[in-house]
Amino acid sequence: MKLQKVFGNTYFIKGGTNTGVYLFENKEALLIDPGLSGLRPKNMINMFENEKIIPKYIVNTHEHEDHVGASGQIKNAYPEIEILASEDAKLFMERPELFSDFILGGRHNKFLTEKLFHRNTEKISVDTIICEGKLQKNGVDFEVINLKGHTSGSIGILTPDGVLFAGDLLIGEETLQKYDFLFLQDVGKYLKSLDVVEKLNFDYLVLAHGKKVLDKKDTILSIEKHRQAVYKYLDQIIENLKVPMNIETLLKKIIKENELTYNYKEYYFFRTSLVSCISYLADLDKIDYTLEDSDLLYYTKIK
C-alpha cells in the first residue's frame, strides 16, 4: 500500500473505495473517505506510521458504509482526529439503521442488514458538520461542494491543488457499462450536481470507485454518460407507463429489459432509484396515478 500522487500535495490510496489524502507541510493529513472497516484501514495506519504521517482530519463525502466504515477504526488509532461530514450524512453515519429503514420503507430486517453492514464496524461520531463553501484546515483552504442526489448528504471536496473528490457522483466507465441504473435518492438534485461539476473549475477528479484519475476533459465525457444513463431509464419508465402498472411490476420490467443482476440489497437499491425516478417525473407533471382494485397504479400523462 502506498500513496498515489495526483498533483501537488494531493494523493490517494487505491482500494475498493479510493481514499483521498492531502498532506500538509508538517506531515499532518486530511483523509477523504477512508472506506470500509477491516484489514485495509489497518494497512493504512501502518503506512501512516511508517511514513511519519499523522492523520488529523477525516472528511466523508457521504454516508454509505463503503466510504465511512473505517472512520471509527482510524479514530481509535488517532483519538485526536476530527471527523467531518454534512448534516444529513452525520444523521445516517451515527445511526446506520436509518439507512436500512429508508431503503425498505419501514423497519429494517436481517435480510438487508446482513448485506449492508460489516459486523466489525466501529461506532462513528461526527465531530463537525460542514456546509457548502470554504473549509480551512491547518491554514489551507479547501472547498466543500454541494453534490446531493446520490444521497441527501453527498458533498465534494476540492483541494487547493485543483483535485476534486466527488464521492459517488461518478463511477468508473467499466462499472457504468455494467451497472447503469444508478443508485439515486433524488434524481433532480443529482442532475443539478452533474451540472455543478461540469461548470466547476478543477483539473483532476479522483473517482471513489474507479481505476484512473480523470482530467477535466474526461470528467465532462463521464458526466454526459451518467446523464444519458439517467435519461435512458426515465424514458423507459415513461414508455412502460403508457400501460398503468404498480411499482413492483414496473421494476420487474426494468430489470428484465436491461438484464440487471441483483441480490436482496440490490433489488431494493433498484427500487429506491425507481421511486426516485417516478418522483422526478411526477414533479415534471409527466406521470400520474390511479387507485384501482386495491392497487396503486402509475401511468404516463398524455399531452
| Predicted pLDDT of residue 269 | 94
One fold for both 4-216 and 231-300?
no
DSSP 53-120: -EEEEEE-SS--HHHHTTHHHHHHHSTT-EEEE-HHHHHHHH-THHHHHHHHTSS--HHHHHHH--TT
Residue spans per domain, the chain: 4-216, 231-300
**Cβ(68)–Cβ(148) below 8 Å:** no
* Fold of the domain built from segment(s) 4-216: Metallo-beta-lactamase; Chain A (3.60.15)
Q: How far apart, in whole angstroms, are the C-alpha atoms of residue 14 and residue 18?
A: 5
| Predicted pLDDT of residue 220 | 97
| Predicted pLDDT of residue 285 | 97
| Predicted pLDDT of residue 118 | 62
pLDDT tens digits in sequence order for the chain, 303 residues long? 899 999 999 999 999 999 999 999 999 999 999 999 889 999 999 999 999 999 999 999 999 888 999 999 999 999 999 999 999 999 999 998 888 899 989 998 888 887 776 655 678 999 999 999 999 999 999 999 999 999 999 999 999 999 999 999 999 998 898 889 999 999 999 999 999 999 999 999 999 998 889 999 999 999 999 999 999 999 999 999 999 999 999 999 999 999 999 999 999 999 999 999 999 999 999 999 999 999 999 999 987
| Predicted pLDDT of residue 280 | 98
Give the containing element (helix H, strand E) for 214: strand 213-215
The separation between CA 290 and the C-alpha centre of its own chain, rounded to angstroms, equals: 34
Cβ count within 10 A of residue 192: 14
- Looking at domain 231-300, which CATH architecture does it have? Orthogonal Bundle (1.10)
What predicted TM-score, i.e. pTM, was given to this entire model? Answer: 0.94
